[in-house]
Amino acid sequence: MRLTVSALAFSATALLGLTTSAMATECIAPANPGGGWDFTCRQIANIMQETGLSPNMVQVTNMAGAGGGVAYTHVVGQRDTDPNVFIAASSATTTRLAQNAFAGMTADQVRWVGTIGGDPGVIVVAKDSPFQTLADLVEAVKADPSAVAFAGGSAVGGFDHLKVLMLLDRAGFGDARAVKYIGLDGGADAITQTVGGFTQAMTGDISEIQGFIRSGDVRALAVLSDERVTGFDDIPTAKEQGIDLTAMNWRGVYVPKGISDEDYAKWTDTLQKVADSEQWQKVMAENGLAPYTLIGAEFETFVNENIAEITEISKEIGLIQ
């Protein structure tokens, strides 16, 4: 008994020694374990350790709340100069920033490092649906918007909803308020409503519904990426069908605003290396992600444009004034 106690005490001191001797790198996932942000953090953390990009243990902290708002406030308010922390982000982060859902905080209060992959958006219908092409679906909405309901995995105003609105807008149907959309808890949930015939179409990210596409329960009308997605080569892109829309649920990170330019450069460099690593290519292939790498200044421009577009649509549907 005494032996175990002293062994415990020893390991405790050893642990303490470890944590104080070197600053641990930390990745904040602004959600509970299991979502996309948690995935981004854990995969990047693993790759940083495996490839020796980080000599220390990379610790993943889950900080759920307000759709990422709690983590955002925390970073802006309390970690503004911490060079050892990075935070997972995705299109949901910019969507919420655009809709002023982070208690008045704006995108320029942090520094955007980059995105290293994306989950392409996809539009699917039930296997027995009369719609054969994206054009069929768009025509049906134009003819009678109240006859076509879309299901998606995000709330109204969320990214899945915006995908539908942006798609229809570019196809020449601008009356965003007339589009019927119901938000469910995640893509798989939205699929069950579409397979069950309660809604006529569904939008989501390809990774969350790939099983249903391959099993034939649903038919994909279009994938919203620049090029066809490996493994789903028979799904045409929206661009091929004449609608110029790319909607990727990107996986990226931001860091605090107050760090030095050298530290920021270190982060862009690290992220580029993670993006180029073999491990990341493998992770992307296994999880249905497509390459989508934008780093540094390029990414900051993308974030600003993205936010401008979402702000405009959100105003149109009355989400913000």
Partner 1 sequence: MDTLANLAMGFGIALTPYTLMLAVIGCFVGTIIGALPGLGPSNGVALLIPISFSMGLTAIPALVLLTSVYYGAMYGGRISSILLNIPGDEPAMMTTLDGYPMAKQGFASDALVISGFASFVGAFLATVGLMFLSPMLAQVAFKFGPAEYFALYMLAFCTLGGIGSNNQAKAALAAAIGLGISMIGLDKTTGMPRFTFGEMHLMDGVDFLVAIVGLFAVAEVFHFIETHGKDSAIGVKLGKITVNWAKLWSTRYAMLRGSGIGFVAGILPGAGASLGSFLAYMTEKSSAKDKSTFGKGNPNGVAAPEAGNNAAAGGALIPMLTLGVPGSGTTAVLLALLLTLNITPGPLLFTERPEVVWSLIASLLIANIMLLVMNVPLVKVFVKILSVPSWVLLPGVTMIAFVGIYSLTGSSFDMMLMVAFGVMGWLFRKLDIPTVPVILGILLGNAMEDNMRRAMVLSNGDWTYLFSSPIAIGLWIAAVVGFVAPMFLRGVLKKPPQPSTDGGTTD
Of 90, 99, 249, 270, the one binding partner 1 (CB under 8 A) is: 99
Q: Residue type at 216? A: G
Comparing CB distances to partner 1, the nearer of 246 and 311 is 311
Q: How far apart are CA 85 and CA 254, in angstroms?
A: 9
**Other C-beta atoms within 10 Å of 20: how many?**
9
Give which of 221, 212, 282, 293 is closest to 252, Cα–Cα.
Answer: 293
Q: Which is nearer to partner 1, 100 or 272 (CB)?
A: 100
Cα distance between the two ends of the chain: 67
Under the binding rule (CB under 8 A), the answer on residue 42 touching partner 1 is yes
Q: Which has the closest alpha carbon to 161: 199, 112, 212, 111?
A: 199
Please report how close the Cβ of residue 242 comes to partner 1 at its closest, in angstroms.
29
| 120 is a contact residue toward partner 1 (CB under 8 A) | no
| Nearest distance, CB of residue 297 and partner 1, angstroms | 30
158 near partner 1, rule: CB under 8 A: yes
Total binding residues for partner 1 by CB under 8 A? 54
CA distance 264 to 195: 46
Separation in Å, CA 119 to CA 75, 145, 249 = 26, 28, 5
Residue 102 touching partner 1 (CB under 8 A): yes
64 versus 135: smaller Cβ distance to partner 1: 64
Contact between 34 and partner 1 by CB under 8 A: the answer reads: yes
Question: Of 49, 56, 192, 272, which one interacts with partner 1 (CB under 8 A)?
Answer: 192
Q: Which of 58, 63, 85, 165 binds partner 1 (CB under 8 A)?
A: 63
Buried/exposed code over 130-167 (b: 16+ C-beta within 10 A; e: otherwise): ebeebeebbebbeeebeebbbbbbbeebbbbbbbbbbb
Q: CB of residue 146 vs partner 1: minimum separation in angstroms?
A: 5
Residue 187 Cβ, how far from partner 1 at the closest point, in Å?
A: 8
Q: Is 38 helix (H, G, I), strand (E, B) or coil?
A: helix
Asked if 44 and 35 touch (Cβ cutoff 8 Å), the reply is no
User: Do 29 and 60 form a contact (C-beta atoms < 8 A)?
Assistant: yes
Q: Which is nearer to partner 1, 150 or 267 (CB)?
A: 150
Q: How far apart are CA 260 and CA 180, in angstroms?
A: 47
Q: Tokens 């649903």 label which residue?
A: 218
DSSP single-letter state for residue 22: S
Stretch touching partner 1 by CB under 8 A, among 34-42, 47-55, 75-83, 248-256: 34-42
Question: Least CB distance from residue 183 to partner 1, whole Å?
Answer: 5
Residue 188 engages partner 1 in binding (rule: CB under 8 A): yes
Binding mask 236-255 for partner 1 (x = CB under 8 A): --------------------
User: Which window, 114-122, 130-138, 168-176, 183-191, contacts partner 1 (CB under 8 A)?
Assistant: 183-191
The residues of the shown chain that bind partner 1, judged by CB under 8 A, are 32-35, 38-39, 42, 60, 63-67, 69-70, 73, 99, 101-103, 146, 149, 155-158, 180-186, 188-189, 191-193, 195-199, 207-208, 210-212, 214-215, 217, 286-287, 319
